[in-house]
Structure formats: C-alpha cells, structure tokens
Amino acid sequence: MKKIVIDGPPGSGKTTLLFGQSDSEKKLPHPPKNLSALGFNCLKESAAQAFFELSEKNIEPMSNNEYWFQRIVEMEKEKYLSPKLEDAIYFFDRSFHHWIHFRQTLGIKLPDWYDEFNAKVRYDNPIFLFSPILSCDLTKSSGDKGAHVFTTAERLESYQRTMSIYNDLNYQVIEVPMFSEDIFENTERRIEMILNHLKNFY
C-alpha cells in the first residue's frame, strides 16, 4: 500500500486532477481525465465535510475557525488510519501535515494530540506539490455565504509555506507546474507526469 499526497494552494488544480470538475463537465463528450475516473483510490480532504457537518448543527464554521479546524484534523486522522488495500496506491488530497500551515498563518489551536500524532504520520515519497494557477482569479466571490477569497499573494505564500512543511519533514517534493492554460491539456499532462514518476519509484 502506498499513500501519495497531492498538495497545493487554493486554485492549483488538485481537485480537478483527483476528482474531475463539475457535474456539467462530466456530461461533456470528452470530459477531462482525473485519477478517480481512471480507477485510482482518491481521498478527499476533510475541510468541506467538516464545514457541512458544523453547518447542519447550526454552527457557523467561518465564525468558529478553531472548532472547524479541530474537526478537520479529527477527520484527517480517521482517514489516515482507515483500513486500506495492501496492494493499492491511495492518493490523498492534502495530508495530515498540511494543517500545520493554518496554525502558522491563522494562529489556530489544534488538538493537544495533534503534534504527537503528526510525528507518527508518514506518507510515501514523493509529495506532489502543485504550483498555483495564477490565471484562475479567486478574488471574485463565488456567491457562497462565508466563502473565503484568496489573493495571488496569499496563494504564493501558501505554496512556499507548504513546501517548507514537507522539506522540514524530510519528504522528497516534486513540484508540478502548470503546463497549459487549457484545463483539459493541463490536467492530462499533470496526470502523465505523476504516473510516470510513480513508475520510477515503484
């Protein structure tokens, strides 16, 4: 069993590569490839799941950041420990380590057990780190209540902080560039790059 992490700042194309695009794009004659559709085991990050869980309890996640992020890492721990097939590759949308980033930038207090468990967590090399797609403008509101918008400076800072986290933990990091402005071509070339690297390692 191999645990492979794909990480990157908001708007870097991780979710597109792992799970594809919207329902409307899935109906296209030739939708963009994604690792999930190709038969790989892909695990979503827990931020959205925790957001909806808190919202259903009438707790506003954006106004209760600490509670929200503590729930996120609880879910990420469960995901890391969940039983998996021994002969399979699992792709993780971000890692348990990633949430150090939010403690550094937002001063979020994570659970007391976080650091001890984080020291035990180990994914397989390499970590694939996506560079931000700067042509994707995230400063425009999506219309979702409470949705956060990210400036170019924030996304570039997130990229550098994430790189530092994995370097400090002695992972081999492979930077995955943006190959094309075309979302289909860019995603397919990134998939090709990742799978070619994994052939060399395994």
| Residue 10, Cβ density class (10 Å: 0-12 exposed, 13-18 middle, ≥19 buried) | middle
pLDDT of residue 143: 46
Enclosing domain of residue 6: 2-201
58 token code pair = 């009438």
Distance CA 132, CA 156 (A): 7
pLDDT in tens, the chain (202 residues): 899 999 998 878 898 899 986 554 555 566 668 999 899 999 999 988 999 999 998 888 878 888 899 999 999 999 999 878 888 899 999 999 999 988 888 888 889 999 999 999 999 999 999 987 766 655 554 444 444 566 778 878 889 999 999 999 999 999 999 898 888 888 999 999 999 999 866 5
pLDDT at 31 (0 to 100): 65
- Residues 149 and 139 sit within 8 Å (Cβ to Cβ): yes
pLDDT value of position 118: 95
Q: List phi, psi (to 5°) of 6.
A: -115, 120
Which pLDDT score, from 0 to 100, does residue 145 have? 45
CATH classification at residue 156: 3.40.50.300
Domain count, the chain: 1
User: What is the model's pLDDT at position 141?
Assistant: 47
Q: What pLDDT was estimated at residue 87?
A: 80
**Counting beta carbons within 10 angstroms of the beta carbon of residue 155, is it exposed (0 to 12), middle (13 to 18) or buried (19 or more)?**
buried
